[in-house]
Structures are given as C-alpha cells and as structure tokens.
Amino acid sequence: MVDRMDRLRQMLDEEDLDAFLVTRPENRYYLAGFTGTSGAVLITEREACLITDFRYDEQAREQSPHCRVISAAGTLPEVLAGLGGDLHIRRLGCEGDYLTYHQFTELKEKLGECEVRPLAGFVESLRAVKDDSEVEIIAGAAKLADMAYNHILPLVREGVSEAELALEIEFFMRQRGAERAAFPLIVASGPRSAMPHGTASQKMLRRGELLTMDFGAVLKGYSSDITRTVAVGRRDKKMENVYGIVLEAQLAGISAIREGVRASEVDRAARNVIQKHGYGENFGHSTGHGLGLQVHENPRLSSRDDTELKRGMVLTVEPGIYLPGWGGVRIEDTVVVGKNGCRVLTASPKEDLLICGG
C-alpha cells in the first residue's frame, strides 16, 4: 500500500498538486486498507492521513498503520480547514466524479485560499492494473462463483422460481466465504432473459425456456463476474444457433486480449462475429468491463474506449444476443490480461448449451 501511495505521489507531481483527497470507499480501501464506512484519506508529498471519527478510531489504527489517524468531530471540510496550514496545502485535488456538488462547494468555501481541483478517475487509473495479490484474490472469488454454478445446475428445473435459484446461489457463496454477492443476482428465464439486467423475480421456470444467470462473489473487497445461459428441460435449433454465435463471439473477444491491444479492438472482435450473423442490433451493450473493488471499472471493452490493455488488468468478456419476446443468451468470463494473451479465471463449462432438469 505504501507502494501505491508512492505511485499516487508521482501523479500529484505531474498534476502540480500538493495533496489529494480520497473519499470513494473503494479508493480509501485500496490506499489505506480501511474498511470503515466513514472517512477520507489525505495524501500529501510526505504524509498520509486517515481522517475519521470516534467510532472508527481503533479500527483505523489497526487497519492503516502506515497512516496518521486523525479522529475529529465536524464535517470533513471543517477538519481539513483545521489542518490546512499545518500541511501547507495550496493546491488540493479531489474526486470530481465522486464528491457531491454540496461537498465540493463546502470544501472550496472552508479551504479559502487553497485551490481545490476536481479530477476524474485519478486513483481509479492506478486500480485498473492489478498486482499479483489482487489477481489471486479475484481468482479465489472466481472459483467461488464457479462452485456456485456447479451447485445450482442440478436445481434448475421447471417449477422452481428465479428468486429461489438466486437465493441458493448467494447462500452457497456466502457459506463458503464470500463477503456478499457482487451485485443483485441476475436470474432471468424465458422472455425475461431478453433483458440484459433482469434481476431475479418470482417467475417460475418453464420447460423449453432459456435461463441466464449472471452473478459474482466478493472476497476481501474484490468481485468476480460470470454469466452462463442454459436451457430448461429441452432446447431447439434456434436456441442452439444463437448460443453458438454468442459463444463464437465470446471466444473471439477472449482471443483478442493481450497486452498492448486497445479495449475497442476487443469489442470489435466480439461484435464482428455477432454482426456477421445478422444480430448486430440485438447486442446493445459493450463487450465487457474492468473488474476489481468495483464491479464496473475502467477500461470498458467498448467501441468508445481506446485504452491500451496492460498486463494485470482484470476484465470481463460478455457478449450477448437479446431477442425481445423470445429471450437472450449471454456468456461471460472474468480474465486477466497477460503478455501474449489472457488467463481465464472463471472456469465453468460453456462449450455447449446445457439442458437442465430434462
């Protein structure tokens, strides 16, 4: 973490800032290891202060021994104003994409002479490239998701509700050490599977429907993300055909990933396959996203993101085809970018459209 702070200090230098104020919980955790729900990290050229209040004082000292812990009453801008002269801050960067307008205004007001400069994606740009320990945590979270998928398959059958399946997946993951589910589980059957974000409802599964399950586990703050689509009871030619196209697109996306390639090129590789088969209009979202302390991070595997991929970035690859009234197919894996390719962290089978409860 000291290493991360040093890299941030280099960025401060480049931006000509004296200090940066970190308030987004994931960024605070990334730099200071602090998991409390209230607090801010102030990083100056020489110091790192964790500003929190009485409730978190002990926890802060325990989790963030490399920070000076300041427990104070009052709003964050008030506390900073009190410290200001002490720390010689004339130019302070803050998280323009996280602070509310109200907080930003108060900060400017209380800090008077000090220039307060909002920046977007500052700490996030560091977070995009994961170190080995982060990758191993995400690999563990991916394994939990794989185990949950394997566990749920025998329970998929006509008459069971989406909500029951979602609950069972979450229960299973948490029983085995997940802190929580990475996001509200998507379990969408039949026509509902045509909604890319159809969270589990009370709808019962019926024979001959497609079922899309999209979920992840959180371990030590880091998420995994996987989607599999199966058929309930039986499958037909159209399902097989659409599934085959999505799989081909997903494999093309995965094959395109390696250090130095642009995010948009990966999107194009997957999208071309779906367009070639005439379903371009039915794939309305990006091919994937960065993944880590947040479920959706940069870079995005989208036509609009030209970020060059770097070794250690963790991404999802998740093309889909959605046909309103009929249903949808999506296949998603979590991968980590390497020098000559990528390592796929989620390992659940996907080669064929499975028939469950047949």
- Segment interacting with Zn ion (CB under 5 A) among 56-64, 147-155, 227-235, 237-245: 227-235
Query: With respect to Zn ion, which residue has the nearer C-beta, 267 or 332?
Result: 332
225 forms part of the interface with Zn ion (CB under 5 A): yes
Question: Do strands 327-330 and 355-356 pair parallel, antiparallel, or not at all (unpaired)?
Answer: unpaired
Sheet holding 355-356, edge to edge: 186-189, 210-215, 226-232, 355-356
- 326 and 278 in contact (C-beta within 8 Å)? no
Calculate the CA dihedral of residues 161, 163, 164, 169 and round it to 10 degrees.
130
Which is nearer to Zn ion, 52 or 212 (by Cβ)? Answer: 212
CB of 218 to Zn ion, least distance (A): 13
Contact 185, 200 (CB under 8 A): yes
Tokens representing 260 are 């130095």
Q: How far is CA 248 from CA 243, 275, 299, 344, in A?
A: 9, 12, 23, 16
Residue 170 is a binding residue for Zn ion (CB under 5 A)? no
Q: Establish if 193 lies at the interface with Zn ion (CB under 5 A).
A: no
Q: Which is nearer to Zn ion, 39 or 328 (CB)?
A: 328
Whichever of 95 and 214 has its CB closer to Zn ion, that residue is: 214
Q: Please report how close the Cβ of residue 331 comes to Zn ion at its closest, in angstroms.
A: 10
Task: Please identify which residue in 223, 282, 316, 334 interacts with Zn ion, judged by CB under 5 A.
Answer: 316
Among 95, 214, 267, 297, binds Zn ion (CB under 5 A): 214
- Please name the amino acid found at residue 18: D
**What one-character-per-residue DSSP string does 217-260 give?**
EEETTEE--EEEEEEES---HHHHHHHHHHHHHHHHHHHH--TT
Binding mask 73-92 for Zn ion (x = CB under 5 A): --------------------
Who contacts 157 (Cβ-Cβ below 8 Å, separation ≥6)? 205, 232, 233, 356, 357
CA distance 112 to 262: 43
Q: Pattern 39-68, binding to Zn ion, x per CB under 5 A? A: ------------------------------
CB of 151 to Zn ion, least distance (A): 18
Give 95 or 332: the residue with its C-beta nearer to Zn ion: 332
Residues contributing to the site for Zn ion (CB under 5 A):
214, 225, 227, 316, 332
